[in-house]
Structure 1
């Protein structure tokens, strides 16, 4: 195999690997930001409001007997 062709193919593989790593780092950064946003949303949310949203039919009526 010619040395020039071998060098070009090695460099091309290296560039592809660097591109893949940079895309993966961007995806990880986005996932971390979304995770932090979800944690902030959960910590600031009212638990009763979340329960009411999850089960809206509960607690709407009161049965009284006199």
Structure 2
């Protein structure tokens, strides 16, 4: 005969672990998204419209 109480406890612990992992993953994804957006903004601000138009060459 199966004891229901330990089985229920075990299933609840697994559920909590899964929910915690999902919450951490969502947080990591959001942080990554924010970091990427900030990097894009920094790159856009640092663009020089004259960059790459003239090449200095010495022989």
CA distance in 2 between counterparts of 1:9 and 1:62 reads 74
Corresponding residue for 1:36?
37
Q: Return the TM-score normalized by structure 1.
A: 0.70
| CA offset digits 1:30-51 (Å, max 9, x no partner) | 0000010011011111242xx6
5+ residue gaps, structure 1, are: 52-57
4+ residue runs over 3 A deviation: none
Within 1, Cα distance between the matches of 2:13 and 2:37? 36
Q: Aligned equivalents of 1:2 and 1:37: distance in 2?
A: 53
After superposition, the CA RMSD in angstroms is 1.9
The structure number with the bigger radius of gyration is 1
Unpaired segments of 5 or more residues in structure 2?
A: none
Q: Which has the higher contact order (CA 8 A, sep 6+)?
A: 1
2:25 match:
24
